[in-house]
Amino acid sequence: MTALSVEDLEAGYGLLHAVRDVTFRIEPGETVAIVGANGAGKSTLLRAVAGAHRPTRGRIVLDGRDVTGMPAHRRVGLGLSLVPEGRRLFPDLTVEENLLVGRVRGRQGAWDVWSVIEAFPIIERLLFQKARTLSGGEQQATAIGRALMANPSVLLIDEVSLGLAPVAVDGLYGSLGALTARGTSLLLVEQNLKRVQAFADRILCMLEGAVVLEGRSTNLTREQITGAYFGLRGSSPPPSTAAATGAPS
């Protein structure tokens, strides 16, 4: 059974169509990465799938169940968790307390504080520290751990490596690889194309709210992805354009 199916999804803000006619599927244990420039609709898409933003059209099916009209907390209870951009931890709660918040609306399963520590060893020495004292990488590990405490079958992560040091990114991706081995499906928003091509099974590139390129990572070249990213065909953007618009690294 397909883990997550998104069909003809549209979402926006007033007259702005941030997501337009997006359709894709994720299989159990598969990793799909979404890339695109700022304003392409990536975060809105994840929020709509998670139930944090109401779509204007389309259908979202989780493990064979239509969840389109369900609020976010019910989707969490059925196995869909979101790690939002900016992590959104409770700054004055400890790491352990932040993790425990994640299981309030979750479902029964193998993930608990100690299994999260096993997946993200950096968390163990931080359990009793307040979240506001953590580094960016430590906060991201805690935010992902909190989402895992709900025992999701599908985990959405917005901007995995944004603002993190390379060593922190290495650690996070090492831990994420262990999640798919347990059968968790991942839908990631990521700007680092080198990471995406090495880690994801499939890549979706968004431009102005629509998916303009989709394929297996092994079948797509960097030039194809970069061209789709900027709405170009057959070439990469000039360096000056890339710098001005925040090109993928």
Confidence at residue 206, expressed as pLDDT on a 0 to 100 scale: 96
The pLDDT, as a whole number, for residue 88 is 85
pLDDT at 238: 39
Claim: this prediction has a pTM higher than 0.85 = yes
Amino acid identity at 131: A
> What is the reported pLDDT for 249?
57
Taking 50 as the pLDDT cut, the residues of the chain under it are 234-245
pLDDT score for 244: 36
Residue that the structure tokens 């004292």 belong to: 133
Distance CA(246)–CA(228), nearest Å, equals: 14
Distance CA 222, CA 232 (A): 13
Q: What is the CATH number of domain 4-245?
A: 3.40.50.300
Torsion (CA) 87, 91, 97, 101 in degrees, nearest 10: -50
Q: What is the predicted pLDDT for the residue at 241?
A: 37
Structure tokens at 121: 């060893």
pLDDT of residue 247: 52
Of 49, 246, 77, 42, whose CA–CA distance to 163 is shortest? 246
Q: What is the largest CA-CA distance in the chain?
A: 52
